[in-house]
Amino acid sequence: MLKSSRTAEVILSALPYIQKFRDKIFVIKYGGAAQIDEKLKNNFARDIVLLQIVGIKVVLVHGGGKTINSFLDRLDIKSEFIDGLRVTDANTMEVVEMALSGLVNKEITSMLNKHGARAIGVSGKDDNMLRAKVMDNGKYGFVGDITSVDDRLINSLLDDGLIPVIAPIAIGENYESYNINADLCASAIASKLKASKVIFLSDIRGVLDKESNLIGKLDKDSIETLKKDGTISGGMIPKVDACLECIQNGVGAAHIIDGKIPHSLLLEIFTDEGIGSIIK
């Protein structure tokens, strides 16, 4: 009986958040171990189903680096990275688009539908949703900077009760394809939609201090201080910058959470403590 009462208390503790977030848009960037490990994949799918059932409008943006690497290895195409970005020549771009739009996107969509969600997979090229230009004068090949987001297709799908699952491929001025960093893609889409939240699932706990303790809440000023003293460095800088850009463009809050923790989405969204870093 005591266990049953505790379960009821846990469920009821989520009620204020369920009421608060009903009909709100959450953009979720799905990547890292949560996209590879079978148990984590199924946990994630169930979390998304629950979010949809309680009335949250979910937009999912995914990566797929490991799948791309696997295809490139099989085709004996060497990968090169500069500043953490994959250098994408014409041959590599074909593989990236095939892997992301043709395989990864449909696997994620199928997994969500299997667990009871209503999801549909699209590419950023569909309906000219994502427009881009070459990044840094072609330093990285066909890696692009998003120049515009047309949200008509996304909103139409959300209005029909569907979850858009978006592959981060954009279209250029001459209808060439561009590979887009999934974090930056999620940031641009969340900004355009003025989403209530953008949530980045990764393989890190969030922003850590110099003693490796989690920093639960941050804002622009605290982030600048942590950058200056070297606490925020390396690959965390672009992730935090993407979060700040979202906030400055009207997104309610940005979260960085560890996708390796089972049901990390629910723990972050529906509990007082959360499990990651929130930037407001």
Specify binding-site residues. Answer: 64-65, 86, 179
Q: Which residues participate in the annotated binding site for substrate?
A: 64-65, 86, 179
CB 58 within 8 A of CB 22: no
Helix ranges (H only) for 63-141 are 65-74, 90-97, 105-114
Local structure of 199: helix, strand or coil: strand
27: left (phi over 0), alpha (psi -120 to 50) or beta: beta
> Two tokens at 103?
């395989």
Residue 13 burial (CB count, 10 A): 12
Cβ within 8 Å of residue 112, ≥6 positions away: 45, 48, 49, 60, 119, 163, 165
